[in-house]
A and B are shown apart, each in its own frame.
Chain A
Amino acid sequence: DTAVSQTPKYLVTQMGNDKSIKCEQNLGHDTMYWYKQDSKKFLKIMFSYNNKELIINETVPNRFSPKSPDKAHLNLHINSLELGDSAVYFCASSHHGTGGERYGYTFGSGTRLTVV
């Protein structure tokens, strides 16, 4: 059973199009994330949702809109795609320890988005 699954694995699309990436976790975690890994392999957080509420929005353009229908799902919709959006997008989830620490971050296998 895949813990964090995201679809599609690959996405090739033209500039200006709108696309969505879906993510689901079956770990019972309370927080989900979207990360972006660019061509230089730098991993940067984009969004964080805790129990369906937006917690973190790291100055991501408005063209990116996350949606969390329930605790187990976090989808990412991108409007008017640009060449610079080409990257690998990772979904992740985590939970809270009794000491207040957040741990057990589990990542999906990524969606490679190529904008042409």
Chain B
Amino acid sequence: DAKTTQPNSMESNEEEPVHLPCNHSTISGTDYIHWYRQLPSQGPEYVIHGLTSNVNNRMASLAIAEDRKSSTLILHRATLRDAAVYYCILNPRGAQKLVFGQGTRLTINP
């Protein structure tokens, strides 16, 4: 399973943008980049995914480097509800499972 590297923890302030980095230098051409988050006492929740181009949805934006060796999840205006562990996951085309790493614990300060 291709590996990703994320900071163990990050802190940000409410109503400010948050940029969560992820390195995946061994990514292959058929690996999709997925982001999930896990709020306290809940199951993981899909945030966004992409292959090569940047992606936007109502929750977040995903910026993918041109060489695809890194990506950044952008929360445009953090709220206290965004405090969670964020997982960056490489999911190969045809993969039958999602493999979680350690993730980044995001703390949002009021």
Chain A residues within 8 Å of B, Cβ to Cβ? 4, 31, 33, 41-45, 48, 50, 55-56, 90, 92, 94, 99-110
Contacts and interface: CB of A to CB of B under 8 A. Distances in A.
B10 interface: no
Contacts of B49: 101, 103
Given A103-B34, A105-B36, A56 B96 contact: yes
B44 A43 contact: yes
Given A50-B96, A105-B34, A106-B46, 8 more contacts: A43-B38, A43-B44, A100-B94, A101-B49, A102-B98, A103-B34, A103-B46, A105-B44
Nearest to A108: B43
Interface string B10-40: 0000000000000000000000101010100
A90 B32 contact: no
